[in-house]
Amino acid sequence: MNDLVRLGRDEAETFAAGLLAAHGVPEDDARIAARCLVRADLRGVDTHGIVRMPIYLERLEKGLVTPAPRLSANRVAPAAAHLDGQNGLGFVVATRAVEEAIAIARDNGVGFVGVSNSTHFGMAACYLLQALEAGYGALVFTNASRAMPPWGGRTELLGTSPFGAAFPNPGGTPFLLDMAPSVAARGKIRKAQREGKPIPEGYALDEHGRPTTDPEAALRGVVLPIGGPKGAAISMLMDIVGGVLTGAAFAGNVGNQYQDFDRPQNVGHAAIVFRPDLFMPAQVVAERMKELVATVKAAPKAEGFDEILMPGEPEARNEARRLEEGIPYRLDDLAPLVEIARARGVAVPAAATR
């Protein structure tokens, strides 16, 4: 049952959207969420792809995620808007927020949108790509459930919330940073757990505050920040901008979607979107960005490196390849989705039942 099968993008998206629609999500919203999920799979960020869907579907079914929120951004200042996510799918809520931030930036140069009452939004790169594809630069913030201690602490309090930043490079590889402030995301540890593999040292402490390479022990303990106090501070920044500022939960009170079934998560996000041609003509900025990328790529290589890649470029290459070859999934990982699909009368891709 560990066989790999390949699904095409459209096939995977239709499957994912069908599952969401079968749980009451309107077709357009289901398609938005499915695109984010499948895009994570395309980019090799498998931890944020469709195999994570059972928890979203379960929370939809339990009423902890609102299937059909009526999202309406509230312009609170000329260049800032607030969006109450109404506990909708984070994919849909965050996509709506970035859409609003782009619209504000178009008119004002920069747009700041804060979001409360959202839920897990998956891969932050999804929203950075949304801004890039509209031709904008962006910073994306989110907070998350407890996963990492503050610097000097030993228990989970802050999230391993990704900090995201992007800047377009028309015709070339854009800058796309989507980084957890932890040495490794919990998703990677969960993947190691599923696959029965150890994790590298330095990723996590166990529940007693001791280093561990056992993913089970690590999931009971805490993941460690990059750069010591620096990574911990980035995580706190996510909780402040994503949570304290926006009106979402914060300080360890964001619900864990795998554990807290008594309430919605109340995740918070924020997006700052800006025009790349604010200070110089678009063509000039594009040439400058092209020059930066060329200079970086031409730099002398360190031992073990054949080439230098831009942040986000490994994922962009995965995406190009998987669009051609199809997305590899383990049948084991698809099985829970197939089961749900059958129970709900959702069409299952033929390859997924091979």
Q: Name which of residues 232 to 261 contact its own copies (CB under 8 A).
A: 232-234, 236-237, 239-241, 243-247, 250-252
Residue 279 CB, nearest approach to its own copies (Å): 5
Nearer to its own copies, 133 or 291 (CB): 291
Contact partners, residue 138, CB within 8 Å, separation at least 6: 98, 101, 127, 128, 131, 132, 164, 165, 166, 271, 272, 273, 274
Length of the chain in residues, anyone?
A: 354
279 binds its own copies (CB under 8 A): yes
Residues 15-74 that bind its own copies (CB under 8 A): none
Any bridge partners for residue 178, and if so which? 164
Stretch that binds its own copies, among 21-29, 229-237, 257-265, 326-334 (CB under 8 A): 229-237
Instruction: Report if residue 7 touches its own copies, rule: CB under 8 A.
Output: no
Residue 177 is inside which H or E element, if any? strand 175-179
Cβ burial of 2 (10 Å; 0-12, 13-18, 19+) is exposed
**Distance between CA atoms of residues 272 and 98, nearest Å:** 8
Instruction: Give the total of residues touching its own copies (CB under 8 A).
Output: 81
Q: Does 283 bind its own copies (CB under 8 A)?
A: no
- With CB under 8 A as the contact rule, the residue among 44, 69, 122, 137 that binds its own copies is 137
Binding mask 144-183 for its own copies (x = CB under 8 A): -----xxxxxxx-x-------x-x-------x-x-x---x
Q: 84 has which bridge partners?
A: 116
- 219, 236, 140: which is closest to 185 by C-alpha? 219
Rule CB under 8 A: choose which of 229, 261, 339, 342 binds its own copies.
Answer: 229
Among 227, 263, 320, 339, binds its own copies (CB under 8 A): 227
Q: Mapping DSSP to helix (H, G, I), strand (E, B) and coil, where does residue 36 land?
A: helix
Q: Does 114 bind its own copies (CB under 8 A)?
A: yes
DSSP state of 199: P
Query: Which residue matches tokens 């190691």?
Result: 192
Task: Identify the burial level of 311 via C-beta atoms within 10 angstroms of its C-beta, where 0-12 means exposed, 13-18 middle and 19 or more buried.
Answer: middle
For residues 127 and 167, which CB has a smaller minimum distance to its own copies in the complex? 167
Residues within window 67-106 making contact with its own copies, judged by CB under 8 A: 76-80, 82
Does residue 324 touch its own copies according to CB under 8 A? no
Question: What distances in angstroms separate CA 141 from CA 55, 289, 338, one per listed residue?
Answer: 22, 24, 33
Is 347 a residue that touches its own copies (CB under 8 A)?
Answer: no
Q: How far apart are CA 16 and CA 257, in angstroms?
A: 19
The least distance separating its own copies from the CB of residue 232, rounded to whole angstroms, comes to 8
Beta carbons within 10 angstroms of residue 63's beta carbon:
11
Residues 6+ positions from 180 with CB-CB distance below 8 Å = 160, 161, 162
Candidates 218, 272, 340, 341; binder of its own copies (CB under 8 A) is 272
Q: Which of 8, 24, 26, 109 binds its own copies (CB under 8 A)?
A: 109
Residue from 62, 197, 210, 263 touching its own copies (CB under 8 A): that is 210
Out of 208, 263, 342, 344, the only residue in the binding site for its own copies (CB under 8 A) is 208
Q: 106-129 in b/e burial notation, b at 16+ Cβ within 10 A?
A: eeeebbbbbbbbbbbbbbbbbbbb
Q: Closest distance between its own copies and the C-beta of residue 200, in Å?
A: 12
Angle at 92 between CA 89 and CA 97, to 5 degrees: 120
Report in angstroms how near the CB of residue 92 gets to its own copies at its nearest: 20
Rounded distance between C-alpha atoms, residue 270 and residue 238, angstroms: 9
Is residue 213 involved in binding its own copies (CB under 8 A)? no
CB of 149 to its own copies, least distance (A): 6
Is 303 one of the binding residues for its own copies (CB under 8 A)?
A: yes
How far apart are CB 353 and its own copies at their closest, in Å? 38
Tell me: does residue 199 bind its own copies (CB under 8 A).
Answer: no
Pick from 25, 57, 93, 289 the residue near its own copies by CB under 8 A.
289
